[in-house]
């Protein structure tokens, strides 16, 4: 795996460069917004990547809280299945808001179940805490990109840098929650820090549905998405957007991989130092 990292790094760099060329040169210019619309190839993929990272943090935090007890672990697994099935079946029984596609809701349900059991299979109980920290760090980075590129895009299109509508405000709150999560992990030395942080992550994840569904249930200045419902997009633009999204996912994966290895090694070193301090006999007074 160590040998694969440089290869994947080079391939990701090439992919990011090619995606940048496609976004700035090849993709057609938007008829209404002009060249400024090209920020979409970084703003939206960053938002989706950040949401995915926060979602992984949410699942890893739940598993860290529940897997210490077999009973709660089984209950959490059943809960993931139930939530996934409900989301998959909702489009068949409930009329969705205009522009919201049933396929997007059903796919989200399948993603919840699949990702939950994938993490359960690949990571031990202790490693889920490492995964939660790493995914939160990477998620905050990409969410910061969203909050920076959004006003740059809004200024020439809306005429303002920022407006306190539901989508923008809930995204800022989400960013603040996970920044608080990282500050708790960084500055707290309590033995319950991991559990407290996991509880905060579960609470913070409740803001994610508000961020996503706000444009359908509230009157916001933010436009509805052209992907997943609410509009249409030129196939050439869609191709470039998907390419950039895939490139961002590869980049996020490499960062998570590197940080995960570093965090795991750091914790192993700390455990060795703690064990040595316990086994060393006290010095006799002179």
**Angle 199-120-178 (CA atoms, 0-180°, nearest 5)?**
30
What is the share, in percent, of the chain residues with pLDDT greater than 90? Answer: 47
Q: Answer yes or no: is 285 within a domain.
A: no
Q: Answer yes or no: is 21 within a domain.
A: yes
Quote the CA–CA distance of 61 and 68 in Å, as a whole number: 12
Q: Answer yes or no: is 83 within a domain.
A: yes
Between the alpha carbon of residue 85 and those of residues 80, 82, 109, the distances in Å are 9, 5, 6
Q: Which tens digit of pLDDT belongs to each residue from 181-227? A: 999 998 887 778 899 999 999 988 888 888 877 776 666 666 666 55
170 CB burial (10 A radius; 0-12, 13-18, 19+):
buried
Q: Answer yes or no: is 284 within a domain.
A: no
Does the pLDDT at position 247 exceed 60? yes
Q: Which tens digit of pLDDT belongs to each residue from 158-167? A: 788 888 888 8
Quote the CA–CA distance of 255 and 133 in Å, as a whole number: 12
Q: Answer yes or no: is 286 within a domain.
A: no
Structural domains counted in the chain: 1
Stretch 229-253: mean pLDDT, rounded?
A: 83
Q: Which of 35-44, 231-240, 246-255, 260-269 has the lowest mean pLDDT?
A: 231-240
Q: Which tens digit of pLDDT belongs to each residue from 7-40? A: 888 999 999 999 999 999 888 887 778 888 888 8
Q: Answer yes or no: is 240 within a domain.
A: yes
Question: In sequence order, what DSSP letters do the residues of the chain get, joined into one string?
Answer: -TTHHHHHHHHHHHHHHHHHHIIIIISPPBTTTBGGGGGHHHHHHHHHHHHHHHHHHHHHHHHHHHTTSHHHHHHHHHHHHHHHHHHHHHHHHSPPPTT--HHHHHHHHHHHHHHHHHHHHHS-HHHHHHHHHHHHHHHHHHHHHHHHHHHHHHHHHHSSS----HHHHHHHHHHHHHHHHHHHHHH---TTHHHHHHHHHHHHHTHHHHHHHHHHHS--SSPPPSSSSS----HHHHHHHHHHHHHHHHHHHHHHHHHHHHHHHHHHHHHHHHHHHHHSPPPPP-
Q: Which domain holds residue 262?
A: 4-279
Q: Which tens digit of pLDDT belongs to each residue from 63-106? A: 999 998 999 999 999 999 998 888 888 877 777 766 667 777 77
């Amino acid at each position: 795996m160590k040998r694969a990292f440089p290869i994947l790094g080079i391939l990701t760099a090439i992919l990011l460069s090619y995606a940048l060329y496609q976004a700035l040169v090849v993709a057609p210019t938007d008829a209404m917004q002009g060249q400024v619309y090209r920020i979409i190839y970084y703003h939206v993929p960053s938002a989706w990547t950040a949401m995915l990272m926060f979602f992984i943090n949410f699942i890893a935090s739940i598993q860290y809280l529940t897997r210490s007890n077999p009973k709660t672990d089984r209950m959490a697994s059943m809960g993931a299945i139930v939530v996934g099935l409900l989301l998959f079946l909702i489009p068949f029984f409930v009329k969705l808001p205009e522009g919201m596609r049933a396929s997007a809701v059903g796919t989200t349900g399948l993603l919840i179940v699949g990702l939950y059991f994938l993490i359960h299979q690949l990571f031990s109980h202790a490693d889920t805490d490492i995964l939660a920290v790493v995914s939160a760090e990477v998620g905050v980075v990409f969410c910061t990109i969203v909050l920076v590129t959004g006003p740059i895009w809004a200024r020439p299109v809306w005429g303002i840098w920022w407006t306190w509508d539901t989508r923008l405000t809930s995204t800022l709150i989400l960013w603040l929650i996970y920044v608080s999560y990282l500050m708790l992990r960084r500055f707290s030395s309590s033995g319950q820090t991991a559990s407290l942080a996991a509880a905060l992550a579960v609470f913070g994840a409740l803001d994610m549905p508000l961020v996503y569904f706000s444009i359908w249930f509230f009157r916001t200045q933010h436009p509805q998405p052209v992907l997943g419902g609410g509009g249409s997009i030129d196939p050439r633009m869609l191709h470039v957007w998907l390419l950039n999204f895939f490139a961002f996912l590869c980049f996020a994966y490499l960062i998570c991989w590197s940080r995960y290895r570093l965090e795991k090694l750091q914790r192993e070193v700390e455990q060795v130092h703690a064990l040595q301090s316990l086994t060393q006999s006290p010095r006799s007074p002179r």
